[in-house]
Structure 1
Amino acid sequence: MDRPIFIGSEIYRGSSYGPRHPLAIPRVPTVIDLSRAIGWLPRDSYRTSPRARPAALTAFHTPRYVAALQQAEATGQVCEGTRADHGLGTLSNPVFSEMFRRPATAAGGSLLATELLANGGAVYNPGGGTHHGQADRASGFCYLNDPVLALKALFAQGLTRVAYVDIDAHHSDGVEQAMAGTDGLLMISTHEENRWPFTGGLDDHAQGTALNLPLPLGAQDDDFALALHEMILPTVAAHRPQAIVFQCGADAVLEDPLSRLAFSNTAHIAALRHLRPLSPRFLMLGGGGYNPWSVGRLWTALWATLSGYDIPDHLPTPARQVLEGLSWTRKAHLPRPDHWTTTILDAPRNGPILAEVRQRVRHLQARQVAWV
């Protein structure tokens, strides 16, 4: 593969979880439009995501659940039994008109990515990263679990060492539960402590396959940099992965309404720059993120970084118009800082490293040494 590939779809533009849901905001369309406005998404770098077939989804999800999800989309409703059994029709995972086709498209994009990566390269599927989905139920805005499907597909290709790195503000509970104990898999997650789904404790190692670093409220760029350089990168390098799956949820950024971490988007960019050289195959996924400006700017910056484009200090007029055209009905009363529409990169958010972060990184370093 000569250049990184971006996988997208127009289904994200025309669908919504509902006007009051955190995912009422545009995310993937903003990344597409902003990238095109700056000239970062030439035609030969873009692939339209296929929709995963039900048979492909049953590599992880149960046939009964996949059928229930399709039925809920077809009828526009669920019975009490389906809601109780499969978590469909809830406040977090509501019934909406594309509730099967949209997540199946995200899953199809991640499965296509694994095929494109068979001989090496890098692929970005910003619609992916739905890491809370369970085998037989929806959870945490996630109807399907495309990271699990991608990991299983990579191992099915014959790979024997794969790393999954997740820096979403919420712990990747669905991935960890599904893949715990898998030979050749390393899972690393940084996430806010005492935040839903309240899993991923420091001593949770998922049968020897996971390192979990819960970050205290207010953890910022220097806290993450310590974790990145002293725990994440050395551990991934020692694993010598044939493929890396990187889930880059944007909800760890300061302006996100659903977490209390304080990263700038440069923290995610630093992680990408250092992780990408550690494997010949690299799949980058989206994930959480519920502020339309911070998500669009961050995920576009990641695509630029992956593709080798220089990020300007000031955006050209067409790119500014994309960001100026966004709205946020759930937070319409809040002031909009100028840099949300005039730049892509945040100013770094540095500060003294929290003592809890130093202690937890040392704890995980000791565990990694014990594994080796």
Structure 2
Amino acid sequence: MKKDAVFIYSDELLAYRFSKHHPFNQQRLLLTLDLLKQINAISPEDIVAPRMATEEELLLNHQKPYIEAVKMASVGELPNHQAESYGLGTEDTPIFQDMHKASSRLVGGTLTAVDQVMQGKALHALHLGGGLHHGFSGKASGFCIYNDSAVAIKYLREKYNARVMYIDTDAHHGDGVQASFYDDDAVCTLSLHETGRYLFPGTGNVNEWGQDRGYGYSFNIPLDAFTEDDSFLNAYSTSIMEIAEYFKPDIILTQNGVDAHYHDPLTHLSTTMRTYRNIPKLAHKLAHQYCNGKWIAVGGGGYDIWRVVPRAWSFIWLEMTEHAEVSGPLPKEWIENWQEKAPVPLLKEWDDPDDMYDPIPRRLDIEEKNEQTVDRALYFVRQEQKRKP
């Protein structure tokens, strides 16, 4: 019988680790999985191990010289001047041993999720190890070596001939995925992110609508710094519903970076767990409305791995398995198990306290500006809807 959802995981995913002090820390996968186990929301039968992506699959999105450079860097044989030209050995994306293998497994995890859904084994699949949306075809960027979502979308197009809607709610613009499909009218990309005026990678302007055949299939909603739940969710719900009706996808792929949270150390947005409860709810609804339930979710950013990521990512799995209404205290055993390892006091509730931060100045100005941005971003969608009889 087809499962509601599968959870792609093995401990081998933890090998994607730049250094002890680098902010991208896949220990957050363990924290999330343990939290789900503590509330009896997941069983061993729900977990599917990721496979390795083959080189042929990586070539769907990445250039061969770049893959060869990653292989050489993995064994310490790539000269420094060559490494820099490929975005490797930088402060953001340092070289680490066996990184080609670790990166290929992250990509393979997302491809495993694709096959589970497209071959009818599960309605939904969650691969929190993926979501590395900054990787380009020939260059590493922003903690991302290979771009698993871009490879997976190319794989979906080639193997399954599926029209794909990619939805990215990471606080950083999904630039690598956008670039891979900027001229493609069979892939629709939507990125909601903090404006590039203040945050890496500085792209994702509202007028980046695609080019050639892809013109009108790329959407960006750059949100003002200090955006809170109401404004974020309004932008998300309005854009995702109108774009889904406009594009009518065969499958939805969501990138679920959770670094728009107030506690995240690398961004300037001010959302709470209320946002992360609601993001998967609407994605789930639209997957059933347009795609017969086909929904693949990957991870992404999230750098407060103790207070934010486990709760926020758990909500995706709980939504996929129809257990989204969990609330109240977090499991005592989970807190006791991880508090001694955490550098900050762990929060004890599923939801954030109402007084988590002081009132944001210019709140109404921020909300009004975000509404104007949404209106501009959806110009093509609304023009197309007007032309329909």
TM-score (norm 1): 0.91
Letter of the 2:322 counterpart = G
Aligned partner (choices 217, 220, 229) of residue 228 of structure 2 = 220
Aligned partner (choices 267, 273, 279) of residue 271 of structure 1 = 279
Contact 2:172 2:200 in 1 (8 A): yes
Q: What residue in structure 2 maps to residue 168 of structure 1? A: 170
Equivalent residues in 2 for 1:1-372 (5 A)?
A: 1-14=2-15, 16-24=17-25, 26-75=27-76, 78-118=78-118, 119=120, 121-193=123-195, 194=197, 195-207=199-211, 208=215, 209-279=217-287, 280-293=293-306, 294-309=308-323, 310-328=325-343, 336=345, 340-347=346-353, 352=364, 354-372=367-385
Contact 1:241 1:278 in 2 (8 A): no
Letter of the 2:7 counterpart = F
Summarize the Cα distance change of 1:285–1:322 in structure 2 as closer, same or farther, 3 Å threshold.
Answer: farther
Name the SS for the 1:23 alignment partner: coil
Offset at residue 325 of structure 1 (A): 4.1
Offset at residue 20 of structure 1 (A): 2.4
Contact 2:164 2:186 in 1 (8 A): yes
Q: Which runs of 5+ in 1 are unaligned?
A: 329-334
Name the SS for the 2:106 alignment partner: helix
Seq. identity, %: 27
Name the SS for the 1:292 alignment partner: coil
Name the SS for the 2:153 alignment partner: helix
Contact 1:36 1:42 in 2 (8 A): yes
Q: Distance in 2 between matches of 1:138 and 1:362?
A: 33
Name the SS for the 2:193 alignment partner: strand
Letter of the 1:85 counterpart = S
Letter of the 1:97 counterpart = Q
Contact 2:62 2:137 in 1 (8 A): yes
Letter of the 2:71 counterpart = Q
Name the SS for the 2:165 alignment partner: strand
Offset at residue 249 of structure 1 (A): 0.3
Q: C-alpha deviations, 1:54-101, integer Å up to 9, x for none?
A: 2221111112211221221123x6312321321111111111124222
Offset at residue 167 of structure 1 (A): 0.6
Contact 2:192 2:236 in 1 (8 A): no
Summarize the Cα distance change of 1:66–1:104 in structure 2 as closer, same or farther, 3 Å threshold.
Answer: same
Q: C-alpha deviations, 1:98-136, integer Å up to 9, x for none?
A: 422222111001111111111361000001000000111
Name the SS for the 2:259 alignment partner: helix
Q: Distance in 1 between matches of 2:295 and 2:181?
A: 19
Name the SS for the 1:359 alignment partner: helix
Number of equivalent positions? 362
- RMSD across aligned positions (CA): 2.0
Summarize the Cα distance change of 1:300–1:321 in structure 2 as closer, same or farther, 3 Å threshold.
Answer: farther
Q: Distance in 2 between matches of 1:345 and 1:78?
A: 46
Q: C-alpha deviations, 1:151-206, integer Å up to 9, x for none?
A: 11111234342210001000011001111121222111110012111111011112
Q: Distance in 1 between matches of 2:279 and 2:327?
A: 20
Q: Distance in 1 between matches of 2:207 and 2:20?
A: 39
Deviates more, 1:124-133 or 1:97-106: 97-106
Q: Distance in 2 between matches of 1:14 and 1:160?
A: 31
Q: Distance in 2 between matches of 1:14 and 1:86?
A: 21
Letter of the 2:304 counterpart = N
Contact 1:23 1:290 in 2 (8 A): yes
Contact 1:78 1:88 in 2 (8 A): no
Q: Which runs of 5+ in 2 are unaligned?
A: 288-292
Letter of the 1:73 counterpart = S
Letter of the 1:220 counterpart = E
Name the SS for the 1:241 alignment partner: coil
